[in-house]
A and B are shown apart, each in its own frame.
Chain A
């Protein structure tokens, strides 16, 4: 690897060479890529210690068990009141250590639950759109237009409730998250463990003073011993990683720009309680000895980790189809798995949790943290339904869309509108606390803006004041121009955008708006393919196909001309619409003046 690539690798992983002479001396005959990989891996392990979610779940569960054993023991009621109170107080104190993280977990679970409900309703709406709504027995419901209207309105109401519940849960989640983050600020793992160990020792003493059956005493002894072990082992990996990380950094004169994060976890040397130190150190920690030359442990590659998770997912979700995608959409993912079901519907392996577009186990105490993107297959399956269903339709009977024009659009738009009622709420003023520049390429930004326009238009197409033709022509012109530029020299085709602007009349404009909006996804696909090199511009062919080349040039000129004409048409339409709007406003203003005068 040359120095340029090495520099990129160091920067990307957040490492800087603090002491160049030390680095140059030590780096001789060392594989620097492996060194950086090893440091990154250690850094991940160090930071994972602050995530006590799994640990808290485990201890909380064992405390519940402990309480259960005492509550079910008839002799416990005969205990001295003061001694019983001492036990309950210490148990309460012990739970208090995990209260914030427990509340955080509960809030997150509740939010995920409501989010799943939203997905369920949305899924039903899609099924209703395509006449695939199932009844309680799993059979496809046959609905006439009235039945479909009733269902659409029913789902509308349900989704509104789900969205309200989700928004409420989201707010609670954010509050709990903040409380949790505040509580772990300046968090010292060792102090935390010492407090827990001291408290579990007190609970053990309390239990000895209670009147209990021999069986219960035995169970309690086992439980308390397990809790003590869990506490002692907790975070050991991160302490060990921290020692090794510091040692490597010192040896090679390297520093991590994330060092503030990693320093939050104190090392064994900082322990105050000798009793705990002895227990912890005695088991595994190698007393912070300097490590001999870099011999990085061979870890599983990202692909192997993803494949292992895929195997577990298949086992846990036998009804769902999975496939391993070639590569994720972003480097922050270790891999991508496509599933035929929504990610939130999947049963996940232990330690994994849902992210907005994938799954991860990075907050568990695993040695192999992995972040996996999940998607695609689900989209294909769900969104391509009409193409599969089309041949089955009876040609003699009009479709629901034909028999009740606009109904599906209205229901869809209502749902779209509700979906927009998300995290940025209406009628609420938000203070801008921070602002920073975003680095975004011209094409990704254009595609994002196009989707944004589509979404906003989709949300207002129920309004009677929408000048469909103007908006349709406007978005259509932009979409076709973007399409032409994006596909220059390729044979990529998006049927929705092969439109003659004259076809966009006020009557059929809503349909065009919908199809333009749908085309956004296809444009994004084309962009991704071009970016990844799976779709490339064709090389111009020589002599024998002179006529073809000429034809292409003519077509290309026509395309450009069409786009320009569309933009001009759009400008004219907008000016006309603005002028009409102004006239209406003026007339209203005049009317009001004259009424006021009276």
Chain B
């Protein structure tokens, strides 16, 4: 799994992966759930990637201490990306 992809879960829910972080050898993704029209909803989740053989699974992370650690990691990598963003008029 990688950022900037839309994954479809087995309950037909689509999630757009926004940021990735690695913590204790596990991959985590900051994601937004897409609604039925494929538009971002107001539901944001942190997903843990679980690989079992050829299949990929995800599980929502709710443990607060893990979330705190992940927020720091997400914020750091996101901060770097924002820093490298071109000024708006150059970008659009």
Contacts and interface: CB of A to CB of B under 8 A. Distances in A.
B68 A488 contact: no
B72 A465 contact: no
B71 A453 contact: yes
A346 interface: no
Nearest to A371: B37
Interface of B: 1, 4-13, 15-16, 18-19, 30-33, 35-37, 39-47, 50, 55-60, 62, 64-65, 67-72, 74-76, 78-83, 85-89, 91-92
A570 interface: yes
Task: Name the interface size band of chain A.
Answer: 35 or more
A435 interface: yes
B18 A530 contact: no
Given A438-B6, A460-B64, A463-B68, A431 B57 contact: yes
Contact of B78 (A425, A440, A478): A478
A581 B65 CA distance: 10
Contacts of B60: 424-428
Contact of B67 (A419, A448, A460): A460
A574 interface: yes
B72 A470 contact: yes
Given A356-B39, A452-B30, A471 B71 contact: yes
B79 A567 contact: yes
Nearest to B6: A438
A453 B30 contact: yes
11 contacts: A357-B35, A422-B41, A431-B9, A432-B7, A460-B68, A470-B72, A474-B75, A489-B87, A570-B76, A574-B75, A578-B72
Contacts of B4: 437-438, 440, 445
Contact of B11 (A423, A437, A450): A423
Contacts of B78: 446, 449-450, 453, 478
B48 to A, nearest CB: 9
Contacts of A443: 85, 88, 91-92
Interface stretch (A226-234, A389-397, A479-487): A479-487
Contacts of B50: 429
A438 B35 CA distance: 15
Nearest to A439: B4
A432 B1 contact: yes
Contact of A456 (B9, B46, B76, B82): B46
Contacts of B44: 420, 451-452, 455-456
B8 A456 contact: no
A489 B56 CA distance: 45
B58 A449 contact: no
B79 A438 contact: no
Contact of A357 (B1, B8, B39, B75): B39
Contacts of A578: 72
Nearest to B75: A474
